Chain A
């Protein structure tokens, strides 16, 4: 396994009264080598805590986090890692060239070994013109791109990206997505969090959803859509006599729309027939990943996976 979390629990003690806050509860997850893995969750769900534990920035109260079998707290294990933190803050007075040199140097790579790759990435992200400018003069998006370049410049085996699309324009997002696809083609492991679910569904084969510190979903993206089909039924006239159906109803005096889950289709049609209403159309619809995600984290349909 490239990345493995085993029964991670993290309890913080905050304030003078040492109030306990549980950030993670028995979190277990494995990411295979060469996999692009999406890690989803609302703000404060525990995503960054999981990543920080993996990188040895914080210690788990219980459990283990390993990179290729070695604990992430061991600097030797981090040798194979590239990391982009959320909203990266780079050194104000250094320029992109110097940051690339530093990233390559501490990874044990010669500056000349990575200079061509660095140039290629800077060109790809249209940062060539600012490569000798201090980072403090770069825009938020440019800083994000620089952070991304620093994460991959040393050609690591595992790339951990915390909100890589944050602050990027559509072109920047496309380039990051393309690079992730290229990395996957070279059997690199990419573990990333994102709030842009379109990117997740496009890039990842498997995703995990964390909510309130617990794993709520783990599986393939296409499996996540199972049961995520619904039907849009258009009826003539207002709907007032339908009872006992679990469908969302909208409409006016002329027509109405019912949005019902896949398993409720037959009972709903029976009710419509009973009420002698005219069906104008029935269209199947697939829920967006966003809707599935919100359903999982807010409606509690999926209990924590132990």
Chain B
């Protein structure tokens, strides 16, 4: 069976279907407006202009990516299930695993391309601010490498989030439910590591019960740790980044993504398309 061509053809139609979605143009326009605002209003701040501009630029990238995954990406798979387009796909010599991988690959192509465009807009806005408006306010140790690292890690974070979304899409079959649960997982994944840190560091002061501590610990290991991919602080302040941290974040992202896709595949293989 032609495994890789099938995945490729599915990825191509998923990418084309996503790239022509009008909502994507909306995401680009909002990102552009945010970047224009970044340039236009930077002089309103009294200090740390470099930090604010980098932070806003990278936050826009992350936010646009989040909207892209939740509102366009997950819809691409849920709509197949909801509108029964999947009948046209799975009635061909395409296995369910190939379907999931093809969809995922197409969606990742869409995410990487969109993030590249939004990242470029973000880079240009920060470059403009650094070169002409507030160059002296940038940390001396500011490096474009860390800026692009933070951008790259946003892509890894979105890859992980997409895989989590795929799992919930296969479990629920409804775009809205999958989107709500994935959003909740994202929020929990962003904040839980901080809560866990706080609970462990101040358990005497906070008087945390043993059972709550166990629950937080369990959730910490199950939920995806999205804060691990956040390098915005380092980029904004020009802080050094340890190579081990980067490697760990990438490996964690890849492993978490693989596990989610594997679980999604298990669920999907058992699914009946009535």
Interface residues of A, Cβ cutoff 8 Å to B: 12, 52, 55-59, 75-76, 78-79, 81, 83, 85, 88-94, 98, 102-103, 105-108, 134, 147, 150, 160
Contact = CB atoms under 8 A, between A and B. Distances in A.
Nearest to B86: A57
B204 interface: no
B213 interface: no
B21 A93 contact: yes
B87 A106 contact: no
A85 B88 contact: yes
Given A52-B274, A58-B274, A78-B93, 15 more contacts: A58-B272, A75-B98, A78-B92, A83-B88, A85-B87, A89-B83, A89-B88, A92-B17, A93-B17, A93-B20, A94-B16, A94-B17, A105-B9, A106-B92, A134-B20
Contact of B88 (A107, A108, A150): A150
A88 B88 contact: yes
A83 B88 CA distance: 7
B13 A83 contact: no
Contacts of B21: 93
A102 to B, nearest CB: 5
B95 interface: yes
A35 B91 CA distance: 20
Given A57-B91, A105-B5, A106-B5, A89 B13 contact: no
Contacts of B98: 75
Contacts of B209: none
A147 B85 CA distance: 11
A75 B1 contact: yes
Nearest to B82: A89
Given A52-B273, A134-B20, A75 B84 contact: no
Contacts of B83: 89
A106 B12 contact: no
B180 interface: no
Nearest to B272: A58
Interface in B123-161: none
Interface of B: 1-2, 5-6, 8-10, 12-13, 16-17, 20-21, 83-85, 87-88, 90-95, 98, 272-274
Given A12-B274, A89-B84, A76 B1 contact: yes
Q: Which of B21, B85, B87 has the most CB of A within 10 A?
A: B87
Q: Which of B5, B88, B92, B273 has the most CB of A within 10 A?
A: B92
Contacts of A105: 5, 8-9
Nearest to B13: A102
6 contacts: A52-B274, A56-B90, A57-B91, A59-B272, A105-B5, A105-B8
A93 B16 contact: yes
B274 A55 contact: no
B273 to A, nearest CB: 4
B238 to A, nearest CB: 42
A85 B92 contact: no
A147 B88 contact: yes
Given A58-B273, A91-B13, A85 B84 contact: yes
A75 B93 contact: yes
Given A57-B87, A58-B273, A89-B85, A107 B16 contact: no
Q: Which of A105, A134, A150 has the most CB of B within 10 A?
A: A105
Nearest to B21: A93
A59 B84 CA distance: 17
A108 B273 contact: no
A182 to B, nearest CB: 22
Contacts of B92: 75, 78-79, 81, 83, 103, 106-107
A176 B95 CA distance: 29
Nearest to B95: A75
A108 B8 CA distance: 12
A94 B5 CA distance: 19
Contacts of B9: 102, 105-106
B273 A102 contact: no
The 4 closest A-B pairs by CB, nearest first: A93-B20, A83-B91, A79-B93, A89-B83
Contact of A85 (B6, B8, B91): B91
A94 B87 contact: no
A86 B274 CA distance: 13
A46 to B, nearest CB: 12
Contacts of B16: 93-94, 98
A102 B17 CA distance: 13
Q: Which of A81, A102, A108 has the most CB of B within 10 A?
A: A102
B17 A91 contact: yes
A107 B13 contact: no
Contacts of A106: 2, 5-6, 9-10, 92-94
